[in-house]
Amino acid sequence: MLLKIRTVGDPVLRQVARSLSPEEIRSAEIQSLILHMRDTMRDTPGVGLAAPQIGESIQLTVIEDKAEYQKTLTEGELKERERVPVDFHVLFNPVIELLSPVEVSFFEGCLSIPGLMAKVPRTRSVRVTYLDEHADSHTIEAHGWYARILQHEIDHLSGTLYIDHMQSATFTTIEHHQRQIKNNKPS
């Protein structure tokens, strides 16, 4: 079942989401929600989806950056972004630690702000401690684009959107951005 994605202006996107207990995480209701969120994320397609984006103010996000999503990028762009495929996984109650200065800016979009994007400065490296779908504890050290995805999705759990961090002069429609890229590429 595909879920309705909430868009900017919906109050749920600005709330601090509540943590879940291990018992709640393992419940049939939450296990079903994980599958629906995965299907919704893949259908859009997106690389992450946080529970507030589907109207649930809980500390849950799903992430997956498939190789097929990266096919339109050149080898140089992949290297510049430090972007590699990331398998599907689930994070409950994530706690993020920034491991490097906020120094890297790339364009980001958001399923809750359709059709728009902007450059957002982020840190290159993070450490995230979280519970998985079995309520087992894990720690990830992520770099590059994966670190960016984690920061973006975990921001959602604290009621923060990329527009709160963006370089406002770069705010644009996806259409204008793609046209700009096309016009600036050598033939």
pLDDT of residue 72: 87
The residue from 56, 64, 108, 153 that is catalytic is 153
Assess whether 68 carries a catalytic annotation: no
| Domain at 11-184, CATH homologous superfamily | Peptide deformylase (3.90.45.10)
- Determine whether 172 is exposed, middle or buried from the number of CB atoms within 10 Å of its CB (0-12, 13-18, 19+): middle
pLDDT of residue 178: 84
pLDDT of residue 187: 43
pLDDT tens for 47-93 read 999 999 999 999 999 999 999 999 988 899 999 999 999 999 999 99
Regions in the chain scoring below 50 on pLDDT: 187
Q: Where along the chain do its domains lie?
A: 11-184
pLDDT tens for 88-101 read 999 999 999 999 99
Residues 6+ apart with CB under 8 A from 63: 47, 48, 86, 88, 89, 91, 149, 150, 153
